[in-house]
């Protein structure tokens, strides 16, 4: 037997109106500056997940609203598969292998993008501050050392472009001696862009967050494990109010050898520090041409910084 619920027309109209009204008012939760939580997208507005599939046009005066650049995960996977396919097959002669590689090197990696295209990758600034007195906005983007052979390589500077948490648990247990021990279970994947010419851009060392203001660390210049790319943008208070929570950066560049690399970092649990730690790092290598700063809500470009400037 089927049951049908009757809803009068006036009630249905009211319900639909309320749903549409609430949907229009809803925004993701964020901090006091209006940013979305976590390392995802900046601003309180909806961030498009539609990535560009054409070469980046460095001559544009304005970007599309909600522009997110190219998909780093898809590009990484396509290059990795292309590199694996470039290995010589057992039945191939040297000449056959060379001819095949010469053909495949020009095939698109995704959309109309290939190894010679200009790419753009969106990064979320670590900090955006505005000084109303000087009418200057200060934008800080975090840089980390890329891993190589299981260790941090200080000569390889990486910008995180995608973070994918898989496990993040923290709790306390009591061992047989009655000692309370904190347990961490952490697993994540990270995609980052390594700028092979990072030295051409102004990079500043910053103290780790846990040591800021610590008298013992004030004299440890050059020992920071975090670095930043920082720039200032002249902006009126009205302009700053409109775009402060939406300022985003684009890394603009061309692919560079070795194109990709992968590192898996684990930590063996010990009685004093039990738990799980697994970090998977996927690196894309580029020759960095420019860093653009723009209002992601409108696409307005507020600053461009070129190689060596």
Give residue-wise pLDDT tens across range 149-172. 999 999 999 999 999 999 999 999
Average pLDDT over residues 103-126: 91
| CA R_g for the chain | 24
178-199 per-position pLDDT tens digit: 888 888 899 999 999 999 999 8
For residues 207-227, average pLDDT? 48
Q: Which of 146, 165, 173, 171 is nearest to 157 (CA)?
A: 146
Q: Is beta strand 275-295 parallel, antiparallel or unpaired with respect to 180-195?
A: parallel
- Confidence band of 107 (pLDDT split at 50, 70, 90): confident
The pLDDT value recorded for residue 289 is: 96
* Res 85: pLDDT: 81
The predicted structure's pLDDT at residue 307: 67
Report the range out of 6-20, 87-101, 202-216 with the highest average pLDDT: 87-101
pLDDT at position 106:
78
The gap from C-alpha 236 to its chain's centroid, in whole angstroms, comes to 28
What mean pLDDT value characterizes the chain?
80
**Do residues 299 and 62 make contact, with C-beta atoms less than 8 angstroms apart?**
yes
And the tokens for 169? 């648990």
Give the model's confidence band at 225: pLDDT under 50 very low, under 70 low, under 90 confident, else very high.
Answer: low
């Amino acid at each position: 037997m089927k049951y049908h619920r009757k809803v009068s027309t006036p009630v249905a109209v009211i319900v639909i109106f309320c749903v549409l009204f609430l949907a229009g008012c809803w925004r993701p939760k964020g901090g006091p500056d209006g940013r979305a939580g976590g390392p995802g997208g900046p601003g309180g507005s909806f961030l498009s997940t539609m990535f560009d599939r054409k070469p980046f046009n460095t001559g544009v005066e304005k970007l599309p609203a909600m522009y997110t650049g190219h998909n780093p995960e898809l590009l990484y996977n396509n290059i990795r598969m292309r590199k694996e396919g470039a290995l010589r097959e057992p039945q191939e002669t040297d000449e056959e292998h060379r001819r095949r590689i010469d053909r495949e090197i020009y095939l698109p990696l995704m959309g109309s993008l290939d190894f010679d295209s200009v790419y753009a990758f969106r990064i979320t600034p670590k900090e955006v501050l505005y000084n109303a007195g000087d009418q200057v906005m200060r934008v800080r983007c975090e840089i980390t050392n890329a891993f190589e052979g299981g260790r941090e390589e200080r000569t390889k500077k990486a910008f995180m472009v995608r973070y994918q948490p898989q496990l993040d648990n923290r709790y306390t247990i009591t061992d047989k001696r009655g000692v309370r021990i904190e347990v961490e279970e952490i697993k994540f994947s990270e995609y980052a862009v390594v700028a092979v010419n990072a030295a051409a851009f102004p990079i500043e060392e910053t103290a780790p967050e846990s040591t800021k203001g610590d008298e013992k660390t004030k004299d440890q210049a050059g020992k920071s494990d975090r670095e930043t790319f920082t720039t200032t943008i002249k902006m009126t208070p009205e302009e700053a109010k409109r775009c402060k929570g939406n300022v985003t950066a684009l890394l603009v560049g061309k692919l560079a050898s070795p194109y990709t690399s992968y590192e898996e970092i684990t930590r063996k649990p010990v009685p004093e520090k039990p738990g799980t730690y697994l970090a998977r790092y996927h690196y894309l290598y580029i020759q960095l041409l420019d860093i653009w700063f723009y209002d992601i809500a409108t696409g307005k470009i507020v600053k461009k910084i070129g190689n060596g400037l």
